[in-house]
Structure 1
Amino acid sequence: MRLPAKPPFESLKRSLDKSRAGFGRQARDGFLRETFKLPRDDARAKAREWFDRWPRQAYWTEIESWCEQPGDVIEFTIRRLPTAD
């Protein structure tokens, strides 16, 4: 008795790898998140850039989490909705 041939999974694997490694990956809750690790002044400028580009009222932009690292470095995750209503 002959077993059926295995289906090719290479395209599925490539598709999964591409989506998992994507920039600004969208989570199941619909938010786009990005994590930064920057010196304090640069972190403030980056956060201000996000809030200017994607206003809180329209995109629900928010600093989701942050922590201070040695050497006055701030690591933070910021999130926003992909589109405004």
Structure 2
Amino acid sequence: MTLWLWSVVAVVVAMLIPTVMACRGRMAERWVALQMGAALTVVILVIMSFAFHAAILMDLSLALVLLGVPATLVVAVALERWI
């Protein structure tokens, strides 16, 4: 395994913290944990794009970032309005 893949393993291990927090806690804590999980997913995709020399993974991570921000705002407005 290369250094890139070891770093992916390290980030996946770090993903356990938001996963546990998303399963427990109040609504706000769960939401923050999901956002942290999305950020770590972007990091994983960027590292994998360098590891496998696949530019499509970089495009996928960019799309995830660009769509994640408006989705966060839409869900926040929906939670504020109906809950």
TM-score, normalized by length of structure 2? Answer: 0.28
Larger radius of gyration: 1
Which protein is richer in strand relative to its size? 1
Higher RCO, 1 vs 2 (CA within 8 Å, ≥6 residues apart): 1
TM-score, normalized by length of structure 1? Answer: 0.28
